[in-house]
Amino acid sequence: MRQEQFLTVLSRDEAMRRFRAALGELRPRRVEAVPLDQALGRVLAEDVASPVDVPGFDRSNFDGWAVSAADTFGATEHTPRRLRRLADAVAVGAIPAATVAPGTAMAIPTGGVVPRGADAVVMVEHTQLDGDDVVVTKAVTPSRAITYAGTDIARGEVVLRGGELCSSRETGILAAIGLAEVRVFARPRVAILSTGDEIVAPGAPLAPGRVHDSNGRILADAVREQGGEPVSLGIVPDDAALVRDAVRRALADADMVLLSGGTSKGPFDVNAHAVAEALDPPGIVAHGVALKPGKPLCLAVSAGKAVVVLPGFPTSAIFTFHEFVAPVLCALAGRATHEPTRLAARLPYRISSDSGRTEYVLVRLTEDDAGALVAHPIGKGSGSVTTWSHADGYFVIPERVEQLDAGERVDVRALAGERARQVDLTLIGSHCVGVDVLLARLRQRGLSGRVLAVGSEAGLAAARRGECDLAGAHLFDPVTGRYNAPFVTEGLTLAPGYGRQQGVVFRRGDARFEGRDATQAVREAARAPGIVMINRNRGSGTRALYDRLLGDARPAGHGVEASSHHAVAAAVAQGRADFGIAIDIVARDRGLGFLPLTEERFDFFVPVARRHRPAVAAFLEELERPETRAALRARGLLA
C-alpha cells in the first residue's frame, strides 16, 4: 500500500499563526438566558445591575435591643443606664409597628428590621432585665450593629461584569438580588468524531488488536473544562467516504469539529484526506507540525469553523488539544485564557532530544531536602493513557537543543495553572502491590502519597540525592548474597519491608516450563529456536535477576523492556512472549504458570534528613502494625 509523507512540516508558532489567521476574530457567537440553577460555570454575556437594594431594609446584626444611641452614653457595668422595655418586639420578616422613643428599648433579633426611632442595637450580652427596665452596661454609638438598606448592594449598581465566569460566589450574588435567570454566552458546540477500525466503545468486549475509545472520553471532558459543549458522533471506521460524510454533518450542526488519529502517513490514515474533501475554504492550513509529541497534527478551517485532526496517541491528542484547540475554544466560550504558572525546577539526570522538533516533556515534581523542585520526566511515551493524568506540568526543549544535562534548570509550566498537586509522601523506585496496600492504609489516616516507578537503582539514586521520602527497592548484592542492606550509604537508612516470591511466569501447559526447575528451564529455553521472552527495564531489581539467569543468552524479546510485573504477565498471557520474570501474585492473578526462582526482600531506603517527617514516620509506623502485616500477607506477600 502507498504511504504519503506529511505536507510541509511547520514550526509550532507558524502553524498557530496560520490557524488563527484563518479563523479570524474569535468571540462568542450566541447568547442565551439560563435559569439560575444552571448558571454555574457559565460566562455572563452582559453586565448585571441589581434591581433591588441589598439589604432591602435597615437590618440588625445581633440579638439585642433597638435603642437611641444617645440614651446609652456613659453606660458601664458600674454606672448602667436604664431604659423602659417596650411591649412590642421585632419579629423576623415583619415591619415593626411601634416606634422607639427616647428612653425606651425594643427587643430585636439578628436580621430583624430596625424600628423607627432607633439608630443602634445593644447586644443582649451587654444588658440585663430588671422588671420592666432594660439595664444597659455598655454604651453604643449611632449605627452600631446596624446594616443600612443598600449598604451591600444599591439598586441600579452593577454587581457583575460581562465576561465573568460564574462560580458559587457569583451565583450567590445573583440569588441575593433576586434574579431567576441570567444571560450567558452559549457554550460552543464541539463535535467529536472517533475514527479507526480498531476502536470500540468503553464497556464493549475488547477483542485482540482492539482498543477502547479513550480519546473520545478525554476530549469530551476537556471540551467541558474549557467551557464547550461536546457532541459525540460516535465511532466511524477507517473509510474515507464515511469520515467525510460525518465531518460534513458535524459542520452543519457544530461550531468546531475534532477528530483523532488517521492523520499520519500510514496507508490507513484517511482522516486528513477525508477532511480536506469535506471542507469549505480555506481548508487545511497545517498538516504536520514540528512537535514532540504531536507531529501528525492537522489544522483546518471551514467557513470560519475550526476542524482539527489530533494525533491518535492519547498523550499527543490531549497535549495538542491544550496547545492549539483550548485557546480557540476559550475565546468562543467567552472565557479568559491564562498563562500557566511557571515553576523553576532542576533535572535529576541527563535527557536527550531530537533536533528539529520542539519537544514538550511531561514531568512529575518532587522536592529535594532544601525544598527545591525536581522535575522527573515521565517516560511512558505518547501512546500512554496515564502520562497526562500523572503529570504535574511540562517544560519545553527548543527545536535546536539536543541534550539537557543533569542538574540543569528547566522552566516547568503547571498543567492546572497552579503548583503541582501536593502530597504528603513521595516514593521513588521499584513498584510493588505491597506499596499499594501501604498507601491505601495511609489514606485511611488522611495522608496522601505518590509513587514514581523508575526501578530500584534509580530510586536508590533519587534517595541519595534527597529527592524523595522513601525508595522501594529489591537490589541483590551477589558478593554478600543479601538484598538492599549492602547498598546503604551515608545519609541513608534502611526500613525493612517484606518478602516476595520472584519466579518464571509462563502459560500453563507449556512443556518447556511446566513442572521443571526454573533456572534450568530458562537457560535451556533461552537457547531454543522460536522462544520469545519479555525483559524488564534497566535499573530494576528484576532486570538484575534476568541478567544473572540468562548469562550471555539473548533470546528474541530480550530488548523489549516491560516497566512492571503486571506488564510482564500481560505479555505472557496475551502470547506476545513465552516467558518472563515476575512475582507470584501477578502470575496468580492472570492464571499463569509460575516457577519459583528466589525469595527476595522489598525494603525501603529512607534519607536520614527525612526520617522524622510526620508522613515518613507514619509510613514506617504503618509498616510495623500487625494489621498491616496481615493485609500484606492477604495480598500474597511474605510479611
CA atoms of 152 and 55, how far apart (whole Å): 7
Question: Which position has the grid cell 459542520?
Answer: 251
DSSP state of 354: -
The reported pLDDT for the residue numbered 238 is 85
The reported pLDDT for the residue numbered 1 is 31
The reported pLDDT for the residue numbered 544 is 84
Q: Which residue has the higher pLDDT, 618 or 416?
A: 618
Residue 418 confidence (pLDDT) above 50: no
Task: Please state whether beta strands 373-377 and 358-367 pair in parallel, antiparallel, or not at all (unpaired).
Answer: antiparallel
Q: Identify the CA nearest to 427 among candidates 476, 370, 341, 366.
A: 366
Task: Note the pLDDT tens digit of each residue in 503-521.
Answer: 999 999 999 999 999 999 9
What does the radius of gyration of the chain's CA atoms come to, in whole angstroms?
A: 34
Q: Identify the CA nearest to 277 among candidates 312, 235, 241, 318.
A: 241
* Percent of the chain whose predicted confidence (pLDDT) is above 90: 71
The reported pLDDT for the residue numbered 2 is 37
Q: Identify the CA nearest to 324 among candidates 355, 285, 353.
A: 285
Q: What share of the chain is helix, strand, coil (3-state, %, to 5)?
A: 25, 30, 45
For residue 81, give every residue at least 6 positions away whose Cβ sits within 8 Å of its Cβ, in sequence order, or none: 71, 72, 73, 74, 75, 135, 136, 139
Task: Please state whether beta strands 146-147 and 59-60 pair in parallel, antiparallel, or not at all (unpaired).
Answer: antiparallel
* Percent of the chain whose predicted confidence (pLDDT) is above 70: 96
Residue 539 confidence (pLDDT) above 50: yes
The reported pLDDT for the residue numbered 422 is 74
CA atoms of 203 and 196, how far apart (whole Å): 17
The reply to whether omega before 340 is within 30° of 0 (cis) is no
Can you name the residues that pair with 451 across neighbouring β-strands? 427
Nearest 5°: phi and psi at 497?
Answer: -105, -100
**Cα distances (Å, whole numbers) of residue 310 to 192, 206, 282:** 11, 24, 19
Residue 5 confidence (pLDDT) above 70: no
Stretch 418-423: mean pLDDT: 60
Task: Note the pLDDT tens digit of each residue in 339-386.
Answer: 788 899 999 999 998 878 888 899 999 999 888 999 999 875 555 666
pLDDT band for 316, please (50, 70, 90 cuts). Answer: confident
Residues 227, 43: contact at Cβ < 8 Å?
yes
Residue 542 confidence (pLDDT) above 70: yes
Residues 565, 583: contact at Cβ < 8 Å?
yes
Residue 261 confidence (pLDDT) above 90: no
Residue 421 confidence (pLDDT) above 70: no
Q: Identify the CA nearest to 369 among candidates 457, 465, 454, 447.
A: 465
Task: Please state whether beta strands 298-302 and 305-310 pair in parallel, antiparallel, or not at all (unpaired).
Answer: antiparallel
* Positive or negative: CA dihedral 623, 629, 631, 634: positive
The reply to whether omega before 55 is within 30° of 0 (cis) is yes
Residues 271, 261: contact at Cβ < 8 Å?
yes
**Cα distances (Å, whole numbers) of residue 512 to 273, 525, 594:** 50, 7, 12
Q: Which domains does the chain have, with CATH numbers?
A: 12-26+187-333 (3.40.980.10), 31-52+156-185 (3.90.105.10), 59-147 (2.170.190.11), 342-414 (2.40.340.10), 425-492+609-634 (3.40.190), 499-601 (3.40.190.10)
Nearest 5°: phi and psi at 66?
Answer: -80, 125
Helix (H) or strand (E) holding 606: strand 593-607
Residue 460 confidence (pLDDT) above 50: yes
CA atoms of 383 and 126, how far apart (whole Å): 71
Task: Note the pLDDT tens digit of each residue in 605-618.
Answer: 999 999 999 999 99
Q: What interhelical angle do 433-443 and 626-634 show, nearest 10?
A: 140
Residues 258, 231: contact at Cβ < 8 Å?
no
Task: Note the pLDDT tens digit of each residue in 195-246.
Answer: 888 888 888 888 878 888 888 999 999 999 999 999 999 999 888 899 999 9
CA atoms of 594 and 515, how far apart (whole Å): 9
CA atoms of 586 and 567, how far apart (whole Å): 9
Task: Note the pLDDT tens digit of each residue in 108-119.
Answer: 999 999 999 999
Q: Which residue has the higher pLDDT, 418 or 605?
A: 605
Helix (H) or strand (E) holding 169: helix 168-176
Burial class of residue 242 in the structure, from the number of CB atoms within 10 Å of its CB (0-12 exposed, 13-18 middle, 19+ buried):
middle
Residues 442, 434: contact at Cβ < 8 Å?
no
Cell of 81: 443606664
Question: Which position has the grid cell 516470591?
Answer: 501
For residue 515, give every residue at least 6 positions away whose Cβ sits within 8 Å of its Cβ, in sequence order, or none: none
Can you name the residues that pair with 598 across neighbouring β-strands? 502
H helical segments located in 427-564: 433-443, 456-464, 518-525, 541-550
pLDDT band for 268, please (50, 70, 90 cuts). Answer: very low
The reported pLDDT for the residue numbered 384 is 61
Mean pLDDT of the chain: 90
Residues 21, 299: contact at Cβ < 8 Å?
no
Task: Note the pLDDT tens digit of each residue in 28-73.
Answer: 999 999 999 999 999 999 999 999 999 999 999 999 999 999 999 9
pLDDT band for 314, please (50, 70, 90 cuts). Answer: confident
Question: Which position has the grid cell 444617645?
Answer: 70
The reported pLDDT for the residue numbered 428 is 95
pLDDT band for 548, please (50, 70, 90 cuts). Answer: confident
Nearest 5°: phi and psi at 444?
Answer: -65, -20
CA atoms of 511 and 495, how far apart (whole Å): 41
The reported pLDDT for the residue numbered 500 is 93
The reported pLDDT for the residue numbered 4 is 42
The reply to whether omega before 282 is within 30° of 0 (cis) is yes
Task: Note the pLDDT tens digit of each residue in 107-165.
Answer: 999 999 999 999 999 999 999 999 999 999 999 999 999 999 998 899 999 999 999 99
The reply to whether omega before 555 is within 30° of 0 (cis) is no
Task: Note the pLDDT tens digit of each residue in 61-105.
Answer: 999 999 999 999 999 999 999 999 999 999 999 999 999 999 999
pLDDT band for 417, please (50, 70, 90 cuts). Answer: very low
CA atoms of 18 and 525, how far apart (whole Å): 57
Q: Identify the CA nearest to 315 among candidates 389, 409, 421, 247.
A: 389
